[in-house]
Structure 1
Amino acid sequence: MMLVQRLVEYAREHSTSKPFHREREFSWELALSSTGKKPRLDECRDADEARKGRGQRHLTPAVTRTVGVAPQMGADDVQYVLGWGDEGTKPARVQDCHQQFVDLINRWAEESAGECPEAEVVRDFYARGGVAEVQRPDEIGAKQGVLISVDGVRIITLDALTWFWEAEVARRKTGGTTGLCLVCGRDGVLAETVPGNLSKRLVPGAANNPALISVNERVFGYQLTTGLHHTPICLACGDAMNTALTELLSGPHTLGAAQQDSVMTWWTLGDAPKDFFNIMPGKPDPAAVNRVLERLRGGQPLLVADSVRSQAAEGRFCSVTLGGNSSRVVIRDWIDMPLSEVMANLAGWYDDHEIATVWDEYPVHYPLWQLERATGRWDKDRKAYRDFRDTANGQPEHVHRDLIGAVLRHKPLPASMPRHVVQRITNDGTVDGPRAALLRFALQRHPRKDTDMPPGLDEQRTDPAYIAGRAFAVYEAIQLASVDSRNPSRNEPDGAGESGNGRKKLNATFKDRHFSGAVSNPRPALTAASKLAPGWLGVIRRSKWSGLAFTLEGKLSAVLALADEIPGRLNPKQQAEFILGYHHQHAHDAQQRRERRAQRGDSDAA
């Protein structure tokens, strides 16, 4: 019940929606007139949306509708408003839907008692058989939405309709039972079923519009009963719960991606420091992240000003990660913790995945979506990761919630995550900043963590796997420098990881031939490289960069001297260390090239 209570609190603080309304899509508008003009059925799609087959979205009266016939007020499907079916509907059911919609309009007009002329216009339209006067478009479907307007005013906006609808929902959903609500702790009219649901477009995996709480079959209820008799929730709280969750999932504080099994939305109760919003992992502000990290590393409070600290001490962070299963919501994670604790966890997240790259002068941090995309397949032709919407992108469907849990709860990644990233790297040979950041984060939170893995090169680290990765990177740089040295127009070899403009095209580089196998067993690759390296260095010595051969040879000797022997088979943790050693060495070499070019004043210092 704590989740429901937090949602109701949010709705009461922030929501301005009318009770028992939800947003849905409409493609048509039935235009009626009080002056006797012929009714029209107009298409109300926006031009851009019409090309995509979509209609306009409007907030309309609505309650949960499962398999039974239950008309909504003032706007509904074609089969309800106009009584038109299609190939996928049964004529008897369509007739029943239409008749119940007309009966609802008649009761509204009767209860308005002449105070709402629009209600009388709509009632008279149906009473005289006005549907027969409406020309039916060829492309219309029974499940498409229809709005009703009178003299250009859509009746869903009328206060008289809203008041009638509130009473109608209470009649349908309560049965007149009163009692203590478990959510607000007050006596009120209790709901037999929750008076609303969520749009399936907001919930990954939902086949229909799902409900957060539903006991519509005996198998789901306590003592094989249906309804909310054993979970008393008042009608107002039931509506507020759905309103809050709909607004949150539709708002900016939502993290999710296509082809994932869940979406996360978050909110705060009480005042939050400005940096908190700027360092959430969706699109973090680098300056805010650096400010928080400086305070974390300096032992300073993460909530800066005393006034803000005192306010945030009472503030709380709430988030819910959910997915869908047919018509039900699956709660995959629920967080309710102090803002100060979440700030510390976020700071730890950025501290643990910070990584040096080939392209950046300083270590960088990544938004969540970039790390999620890096778990997918690399498209060698496009030189980019496959899109989230690509069903063949190869991302685990749970990667989003695994990362969210690690970020907000300060947890380690599941063991399957770094193994999956290593597999992707060995399959396509691409090691970039996001993938290296994921592996570093996994090692920083590893249960058997021996020492810290720094963001950039650790020249004193003696882990055999890390040294083997560094050695592989140096051997690769030696081979590519030997290729570059054959081009007299070049100012300096680009080295591995850079563009290599003017480099002679190789059928297969040392990395192409050996990297995939070296990740799990570096000994054969490094043994082969030790035999090839003298020839590569000889080519460099005979070029105008003869001094570079001495530098590279010294670098290789220094790296190999750190390890007693070349390791053989590597376990999953060591495989991640090998890849990070390889990545760190290339990032370090790229930084050295930038510094040399800056000293020379080269325009291409990058």
Structure 2
Amino acid sequence: MILQALAKHYQMMAEAGEAPRRGWCPVGVSFALEIAADGALRRVYDLREEQHSDKKTAVRPRRMVVPDHPPRSGKKPPAYFLCDTSTYFLGLAEDEENPAKAEKKRQDALQRFASAKELHEKMLGDLDAPAAQAVVAFFRQWQPEQAKMHPVLAEFLPDIAAGGNVVFRFQGRFVQEDAAIAARWERTLTAQEDDAQGICLVTGKEGSIARLHPKIKGVPGAQVSGANLVSFNTESSNSYGHAQGANAPVSEDASFAYGMALNALLADSDHRQILGDTAVVYWAEQENEAVQDLTSILMGGVGGKNIMTEASLQGLFQNLVKGRPIRFEAAEIPYENPFYILGLSPNAARLSVRFFLQGAFGDFLQHVKAHRERAAIAMPPRKPWTSPPLWAWLQATVSPNVSNKSPLPILAGSMTVAILKDALYPASLYEQVLLRIHAEIDDTEARPPHYKITGERASIIKAYLMKNKKRGELRMKLNEEITDPAYVLGRIFSLREGIQRAVNPNLNATIKDRYFDVASTTPARVFPILEHLTNHHLRKLARLARDDKKKTYNPYYSYERQMRELMGMLDASKGIPKTLNAEEQGMFILGYYQQTQARYEKKSDKEAETAGTMSEEE
């Protein structure tokens, strides 16, 4: 199913002129050698292009479609047709101070030039085309030993010798674009196929079965030269006497198609997101920029290349709920547009498929909408979101003290699947957040300050409890009607901390630093101690209120009333719970976080009030 979807995507790319035919591939080309009809080298063209990003300018090779570059290895790797490095086309060897090594590299360069000469004479020697005969003449008259002294190469010699790809140019055109030469290449490619014939499992048609499958590039952690999605290179992998590609009969055409499509998706930032060690690619059958941009934003969060505010995103979801067309960037996206999402991660020389999802584009949007509603939570003013993007969730599970800031490898894949399928969140996500909260301490001296309970971690707890534990009473902001003991205890702890800060605004360490972890797991051990401290602080606030002649704002009355109300929500006959399980710990943390956020939201307004309004809620 994966290969079929990718092969179909390639057909769409080819019809739109966005992908080369089989036997051709896009590569970076640095220089073009202008040759005359007699093969003489007349000029060198620099094809490299400047690219500007982040106030930096870099020189990159030009992307060109050339005859295929299959993987090559061994002591004598073969030459490529019409596009290769200067070692093959010019016999240039890298400079080397050591005489023995210099001679070895020179001999190696001569062998590679001979390989290229033999290939082009075989392919073009009998072809009646001026460009073909010019290339053959070039190889026959070129002297590799004199290459470094050739006047035409002098200007670019160091850069050409550095190893970039080179192509030929004849009478103002690149040789690989010559119709007769291109036809010869494709006929030769077909004639050389001597692989076994069989029924392709992708297309269902009979054809030549690929012995080796294409290398896939762009997956973080995999081999730079590319890794295989399909491969059989050990005897234990073979089945019923089949070897290599015969174990999974895919035709040469289908193999080329899925490899070209997948490499194109991985190379395009509009179709790819990196989550942990997983490269996620996505595409639609009816492709347009609106689908790409909207998916990129939903996967990566609001902002980035395409700015989308929370308000506009909510408007999009509202239209979705009301059954209206999905409109984005002035384009209409069909609800039933088939959509595919593939997650790949490295595994030695192969790739592991973390997940593969397919369905209607509108259904995926519905699932993302449901997730965002569960994840929505009141955030500090500096945060640009109320529903954190997936990457921010994953980062919230990482310790700030480790050098490797990557989340657990398997977490990215399982989280993506849970969101896009509207399935249960992985328990490991919730466990990691609780672990981090209990293991860390606040560091207000850090830049930026670090807090153990962040909006992202509270968002994870809220979404997990709502989806996995059916806690439908939870809201984006504080829900004062919740009577769950753990949630109420978390609110009380936050209120006690607020009272302590009101009495000692410059305090370096609060009850949160000393008692939070114990209070959220075994509250009966510390709440009597905290009650004694709070009563002391309230008496001090009351004394300050009586002695204040200027009648400035004092939160005593508000705090005293809130404490009475919260304590009244606890069942006195049961007392303070001795222990809290994992679910209850999450409710405690959420109650603490939401009560704290509510206090800070109201604080700025109430600080301007006078003592005459001190009885109102803070």
Maintained 8 Å contact 1:469/1:577: yes
Equivalent position amino acid for 1:73 in 2:
F
Structure 1 residue 159, shift from structure 2 partner: 4.3
**In 2 relative to 1, CA 535–395 (structure 1 residues): closer, same or farther, beyond 3 Å?**
same
Give the corresponding residue for 1:133.
Answer: 146
Correspondence 1:67 to 2:67: no
Structure 1 residue 257, shift from structure 2 partner: 3.4
Give the corresponding residue for 2:279.
Answer: 263
Give the corresponding residue for 2:228.
Answer: 211
Correspondence 1:182 to 2:224: no
Correspondence 1:341 to 2:363: yes
Maintained 8 Å contact 1:468/1:567: no
Deviations 1:108-145 (A, max 9, x none): 322532x242x333333322243333329997899943
Deviations 1:347-375 (A, max 9, x none): 21112111122438998222222223323
Equivalent position amino acid for 1:74 in 2:
L
Deviations 1:235-266 (A, max 9, x none): 322222112112222224444337x2211111
> Structure 1, unaligned stretches of length 5 or more?
380-389, 485-503, 601-606
Deviations 1:387-443 (A, max 9, x none): xxx952252233322221111111222211112122223314422222211121221
**In 2 relative to 1, CA 184–203 (structure 1 residues): closer, same or farther, beyond 3 Å?**
farther
**In 2 relative to 1, CA 333–160 (structure 1 residues): closer, same or farther, beyond 3 Å?**
farther
Give the corresponding residue for 1:510.
Answer: 511
Tell which deviates more after alignment, 57-66 or 474-483. 57-66
Equivalent position amino acid for 1:124 in 2:
A
Equivalent position amino acid for 2:460 in 1:
L
Correspondence 1:106 to 2:121: yes
Give the corresponding residue for 1:492.
Answer: none
Deviations 1:538-564 (A, max 9, x none): 443315556411101221222232223
Instruction: Classify the secondary structure of the residue corresponding to 1:425.
Output: helix
TM-score by length of 2: 0.77
**In 2 relative to 1, CA 342–41 (structure 1 residues): closer, same or farther, beyond 3 Å?**
closer
Aligned length: 555
Correspondence 1:373 to 2:373: no
Deviations 1:433-458 (A, max 9, x none): 22211121221222x43544322212
In 1, Cα distance between the equivalents of 2:360 and 2:51? 46
Deviations 1:455-512 (A, max 9, x none): 221212222222222122111111222234xxxxxxxxxxxxxxxxxxx3x3323222
Structure 1 residue 168, shift from structure 2 partner: 4.2
Give the corresponding residue for 2:61.
Answer: 56
Maintained 8 Å contact 1:218/1:225: no
In 2, Cα distance between the equivalents of 1:120 and 1:275? 48
* Higher Cα radius of gyration: 2
In 2, Cα distance between the equivalents of 1:415 and 1:302? 35
In 2, Cα distance between the equivalents of 1:125 and 1:310? 54
TM-score by length of 1: 0.79
Give the corresponding residue for 2:603.
Answer: 593
In 2, Cα distance between the equivalents of 1:141 and 1:561? 81
Give the corresponding residue for 2:447.
Answer: none
Deviations 1:43-93 (A, max 9, x none): 9474879x9998525244334315353433222345544455679998687
Give the corresponding residue for 1:570.
Answer: 580
Give the corresponding residue for 2:341.
Answer: 319
Maintained 8 Å contact 2:222/2:346: yes
Maintained 8 Å contact 1:183/1:237: yes
Instruction: Classify the secondary structure of the residue corresponding to 2:125.
Output: helix
In 2, Cα distance between the equivalents of 1:272 and 1:128? 50
Maintained 8 Å contact 1:289/1:350: no
Give the corresponding residue for 1:7.
Answer: 6
Give the corresponding residue for 2:558.
Answer: 551
Give the corresponding residue for 2:504.
Answer: 483
Structure 1 residue 209, shift from structure 2 partner: 0.9
Tell which deviates more after alignment, 468-477 or 281-290. 281-290
Tell which deviates more after alignment, 54-63 or 426-435. 54-63
Maintained 8 Å contact 2:265/2:272: no
Aligned identity (percent) is: 20
Structure 1 residue 596, shift from structure 2 partner: 4.8
Maintained 8 Å contact 1:63/1:169: no
Equivalent position amino acid for 1:268 in 2:
A
> Of 472, 477, 482, which residue of structure 1 is paired with 2:493?
472
Give the corresponding residue for 2:591.
Answer: 581
**In 2 relative to 1, CA 99–396 (structure 1 residues): closer, same or farther, beyond 3 Å?**
same
Give the corresponding residue for 1:408.
Answer: 420
Tell which deviates more after alignment, 360-369 or 566-575. 360-369
> Of 31, 34, 38, which residue of structure 1 is paired with 2:33?
31
Instruction: Classify the secondary structure of the residue corresponding to 2:134.
Output: helix
In 2, Cα distance between the equivalents of 1:161 and 1:510? 80
**In 2 relative to 1, CA 403–141 (structure 1 residues): closer, same or farther, beyond 3 Å?**
farther
> Of 219, 229, 245, which residue of structure 2 is paired with 1:228?
245
In 2, Cα distance between the equivalents of 1:459 and 1:274? 41
In 2, Cα distance between the equivalents of 1:125 and 1:361? 63
Tell which deviates more after alignment, 409-418 or 394-403. 394-403
> Structure 2, unaligned stretches of length 5 or more?
150-155, 303-307, 443-450, 546-550, 611-618
**In 2 relative to 1, CA 287–58 (structure 1 residues): closer, same or farther, beyond 3 Å?**
same
Correspondence 1:150 to 2:156: no
In 2, Cα distance between the equivalents of 1:203 and 1:165? 34
**In 2 relative to 1, CA 255–241 (structure 1 residues): closer, same or farther, beyond 3 Å?**
closer
